[in-house]
Structure 1
């Protein structure tokens, strides 16, 4: 909150700076990612009162301050009250509405920075001759329209940043105006993450002699890369990746399909930022490939990720000035210093005293993790996942700024170093899929910012005792596939009450499910499968309004599933797995009517989103789908699954259910793809209504007491013998038993004839759950896997200091 009194402001004030910018924050390609980036809000006074009498004001800096006024108010107030304004800097102010084009045309306006306001709309005007603008930044806004040819009239322009605009930002011809190559004062040009096509403008030293940074990546540019770009002695940053350039020898940056190191780069000796990611660089001797780096003493950011580089990383790659180093998704086998005995020597990586980010994930690195990494006091992110590192985890007592540590999917062993308790900035700790052998790390509970703790698939053991510390920020806890045993204590759930995702599948936990779990009001995913929990159905979970996934499979739950209420329980639940327990009795119609998340049609259901869809963690799960266990690396919110199989349910199909044909109404939302009613005591004929479910891909009616002939309508003619086996009174294709055999002659079923499934309405389709063996899966049709090589920092040098 930003509060002070307007009376204290002098009418003669010419510069006002209330901005707040965190020293260390980054942005991801798809998300605004900030570390401890608080929001200040201007309320007393509000914006209008603040500047009402500041008619002499020339510079206004409010970056990072939440402006409470609507755009129509603050825009009008600014233009009327501040006639002498030359600097308007209001980045990350949560501005919305329409930004008037007149601001760009104010005769004294020199700098406009309204970046980071994703809800702010507008268009660039035609610029007159002799416009005064020097800095223009619209990054992360929702501006649309075209980039006018009159941009060449901005003769004083030094910085132009139009990256990552909300809508297609391109000229009528779809190309970048050639006139930008004649902005003689231009130092930084960023048009990345848009839809520009055509060729690169003809940049020459004579036209833009001071050009230091050029970013045209993530567009649809084609043609050749002008060789003149590589004659600039002033150029420090050049990013042309993710385009469609055709000139093979001059492809430079990421996704340009480089197969060898270009000669023109070797002539550069003052690079500070080099991104060669997402290419096909495959030299087997990386030291030869990167020999030119020996002369790059100014390099602070290097990205070689997503290539085909193999072998060892040479010692001289570890430049002392490096801040960011990405080597992920290659075939690197060692960090070189592991290849010989250097116990008595200072290994080169230990000299990186300024390193912020080190990502060498998804390689073949082996040996021990360098212990000196735990002593780099500037290190924020360390990602070594998906390698072959062995031995124990080093101490991290000196890495006090460490916020992300990902060592999952290696061969690490031993106990967790207690020095991790000193990493008070730690937010993400992923140690899954190793062979760590330790008890539950209760001592991590005192870390004030820890949001994600993943210990899955290790050898952790013992009971989970009373938590002395409360894990105040914990959002995700995954201890799946370990050897924890004993009872879950009431105190355990009281300590982690802010959880959004809890997974304890595949342990030996027993006893009853503590009702204190109902205090976890933010819980969306609860996976308790494959334990020995002995309890009745936890109907009290209806108190969790956000619960979307509930997995109780393979425990010792027992008793009937009865529920009575107002029909508004479980409003978000779309995956419910109760299979392989000891539930019995009849499932009440009220219970299924309460599963509104599986049946309610709303606008949000049409959008492909994922459970836990955020930058730091992605929920996954394993489900039985069409007869196979499938690992869903992401949980699509449109995926709806109900599994009651392998229990002791019994009873009749209720007479109240309606015609199954009405299920076709769900085609546009969810489609019944898999129907498993096997190993029950269902009798009478197979209803003709089932044949109308043309989207049905898997059918299992085996081992029941069905009779009559098997219909061959629609896709029923494609199901095999296994779908019907174990029904001695069934006959016809695909069974070998013919319907004209004695005792097997059956009259064809009439359309309206009563049967064991007298039809189902949209609201009651799940009532087929009576009896063990049910698997009903509603699916929208696709699963998107996690992307390899997620980069925590999309652009290395992205505004850690204010633009000139």
Structure 2
């Protein structure tokens, strides 16, 4: 009887074994062996790239050892099946051609930032990389019109084409007017298919002809946008009220654009922001300082707006601010003791404003403070010695104020982290 039962069990198991195997989970621990059709484009890429640190000297690009598996090469990422899904060759001072990359059709992330390609984008086949989710070509000396083919990358989550003129500064050539521009296609055509985009960096891209409807188009098409960075793009104000529709927007950077004034619903636009940068935007009038009290805001830079007025509010305990830059504005008033509630603050830049009165002793509570700039105001009274023992402080500028008193002895090196101290043009003894 036992023998019969065993035979029946064996028969049943043998019948269902193929079915069980068909439902077994895929092997996710397989070694990443580089496929031949993936290795070949990478070898071509290495052959056509060269180091070009100063536009004067070049040598062959030899980062990769051809005798090893290409999935182990620096800057190369493969999936479990040996397909190249990521290439990161950022900030290596590379020149030459990268055409062979476009034969890697499984590629999801491509980062070529910080190189010296010094060419247009017209000869490249970006439309072939249908799986691309992250594309970073920033600071690599590309110029001319942005290709419409980039707008065909419908899976893009992050796109960075910013600061193409940076490489000229980096290599000692100073300012160069060659940069990217967005005219044909226009901005609306360019972004209409990029509906999954969460990060858009077009800093220093010339989109001056698109100012009128740029914000409206952005708010209608890019509903998932979290980061919008458009510094020095030639945008003319005012800041669009339609940005309030971007319910996920957490970082807004518009430095260097003549926005001139803020819309009535500015507080609604900024209520969800973590970071706001409106430096040198020709802003005037009163800045709504309620934004400084937002529970989410961590970084604010509205410096170099000489006609912008405001006063610091009373900060509640455990405010989230980490960086506050108001220098070269027309902010005024006394510095409140509530500054000491900014427990997470690392940068406080209030120089060349119109603040007056004593320096709050509560600043000594800011244990994370690295940079303290209070110079060029009308601050008076004496300096609290506790400022010199802030544990993280590297730079302190108190110069060109009306501070008085006597400094008998500075803390020794073991108890002070200060590397730079500015206390000129005052009445110290």
- Cross-structure match for 2:54: none
Cα pair 1:393 1:413 within 8 Å, conserved: no
The verdict on how the C-alpha distance between 1:329 and 1:227 changes in structure 2, with shifts beyond 3 A counting, is closer
- Cross-structure match for 2:215: 314
Are residue 506 (structure 1) and residue 405 (structure 2) matched? no
Could you tell me which runs of 5 or more consecutive residues in structure 2 were left unpaired when the two chains were aligned.
1-27, 39-60, 165-178
Are residue 328 (structure 1) and residue 213 (structure 2) matched? no
Q: Shift of the alpha carbon at 1:327?
A: 0.7
Are residue 188 (structure 1) and residue 91 (structure 2) matched? no
- 2: CA distance between counterparts of 1:110 and 1:449? 43
- 1: CA distance between counterparts of 2:360 and 2:91? 50
- 1: CA distance between counterparts of 2:409 and 2:302? 34
The verdict on how the C-alpha distance between 1:335 and 1:423 changes in structure 2, with shifts beyond 3 A counting, is farther
- 1: CA distance between counterparts of 2:310 and 2:126? 52
Structure 1 range deviating more: 408-417 or 363-372: 363-372
SS in 1 for 2:421: strand
Alignment of 1:142-181 (within 5 A): 146-149=63-66, 162=75
Q: CA RMSD in A?
A: 3.8
Alignment of 1:551-590 (within 5 A): none
- 2: CA distance between counterparts of 1:398 and 1:235? 39
The verdict on how the C-alpha distance between 1:160 and 1:273 changes in structure 2, with shifts beyond 3 A counting, is farther
Instruction: Select the residue among 140, 150, 161 that pairs with 1:276.
Output: 161
- 2: CA distance between counterparts of 1:326 and 1:395? 23
Alignment of 1:226-241 (within 5 A): 227-241=124-138
Q: Shift of the alpha carbon at 1:439?
A: 0.6
Alignment of 1:120-269 (within 5 A): 146-149=63-66, 162=75, 185-203=83-101, 208-220=104-116, 227-243=124-140, 255-258=141-144, 260-269=145-154
Cα pair 1:477 1:503 within 8 Å, conserved: yes
Q: Shift of the alpha carbon at 1:366?
A: 1.5
- Cross-structure match for 1:69: none
Instruction: Select the residue among 257, 270, 279 that pairs with 1:363.
Output: 257
Cα pair 2:65 2:73 within 8 Å, conserved: no
Which TM-score applies when normalising by structure 1? 0.39
Are residue 417 (structure 1) and residue 313 (structure 2) matched? yes
Q: Shift of the alpha carbon at 1:461?
A: 0.8
Are residue 386 (structure 1) and residue 280 (structure 2) matched? yes
Q: Shift of the alpha carbon at 1:357?
A: 2.5
Instruction: Select the residue among 348, 369, 373 that pairs with 1:478.
Output: 373
The verdict on how the C-alpha distance between 1:149 and 1:198 changes in structure 2, with shifts beyond 3 A counting, is farther
Cα pair 1:505 1:528 within 8 Å, conserved: yes
- 2: CA distance between counterparts of 1:110 and 1:331? 47
Q: Shift of the alpha carbon at 1:210?
A: 2.4
Instruction: Select the residue among 182, 198, 202 that pairs with 1:300.
Output: 198
- 1: CA distance between counterparts of 2:184 and 2:400? 42
- Cross-structure match for 2:337: 442
- 1: CA distance between counterparts of 2:398 and 2:63? 53
- Cross-structure match for 1:699: none
- 2: CA distance between counterparts of 1:214 and 1:241? 11
Instruction: Select the residue among 281, 295, 312 that pairs with 1:400.
Output: 295
Cα pair 2:318 2:341 within 8 Å, conserved: no
- 2: CA distance between counterparts of 1:406 and 1:317? 23
Cα pair 1:273 1:302 within 8 Å, conserved: yes
- Cross-structure match for 2:169: none
- 2: CA distance between counterparts of 1:392 and 1:530? 30
Are residue 433 (structure 1) and residue 345 (structure 2) matched? no
Cα pair 2:390 2:417 within 8 Å, conserved: no
Q: Shift of the alpha carbon at 1:493?
A: 3.2
Q: Shift of the alpha carbon at 1:441?
A: 3.1
Could you tell me which runs of 5 or more consecutive residues in structure 1 were left unpaired when the two chains were aligned.
1-85, 88-107, 112-126, 132-143, 164-179, 244-254, 338-346, 536-804
Q: Shift of the alpha carbon at 1:459?
A: 0.8
Q: Shift of the alpha carbon at 1:200?
A: 2.0
Query: What's the CA shift string for 1:345-376, capped at 9, x where partnerless?
Result: xx322233323322211222211372234421
- Cross-structure match for 2:426: 531
- 2: CA distance between counterparts of 1:222 and 1:468? 48
Q: Shift of the alpha carbon at 1:456?
A: 0.6
Query: What's the CA shift string for 1:169-208, capped at 9, x where partnerless?
Result: xxxxxxxxxxx9xx9722222233325544224355xx54
Cα pair 2:64 2:73 within 8 Å, conserved: no
Alignment of 1:30-69 (within 5 A): none
The verdict on how the C-alpha distance between 1:485 and 1:299 changes in structure 2, with shifts beyond 3 A counting, is same
Query: What's the CA shift string for 1:434-464, capped at 9, x where partnerless?
Result: 1111112321112222122111111101123
Q: Shift of the alpha carbon at 1:518?
A: 6.0
Cα pair 1:457 1:479 within 8 Å, conserved: yes
Cα pair 1:200 1:225 within 8 Å, conserved: no
Higher relative contact order, chain-length normalized (CA < 8 Å, sep 6+):
2
SS in 1 for 2:362: coil
The verdict on how the C-alpha distance between 1:226 and 1:423 changes in structure 2, with shifts beyond 3 A counting, is farther
Q: Shift of the alpha carbon at 1:323?
A: 1.9
Instruction: Select the residue among 230, 241, 246 that pairs with 1:352.
Output: 246
Cα pair 1:493 1:516 within 8 Å, conserved: no
- 2: CA distance between counterparts of 1:269 and 1:528? 55
Q: Matched residue pairs, number?
A: 352
Cα pair 2:137 2:161 within 8 Å, conserved: no
- 2: CA distance between counterparts of 1:128 and 1:263? 31
- Cross-structure match for 1:685: none
The verdict on how the C-alpha distance between 1:526 and 1:215 changes in structure 2, with shifts beyond 3 A counting, is closer
Higher helix share: 2
Cα pair 1:361 1:383 within 8 Å, conserved: yes
Query: What's the CA shift string for 1:758-788, capped at 9, x where partnerless?
Result: xxxxxxxxxxxxxxxxxxxxxxxxxxxxxxx
Q: Shift of the alpha carbon at 1:241?
A: 4.9
- 2: CA distance between counterparts of 1:209 and 1:497? 51
Q: Shift of the alpha carbon at 1:265?
A: 3.3
The verdict on how the C-alpha distance between 1:241 and 1:503 changes in structure 2, with shifts beyond 3 A counting, is closer
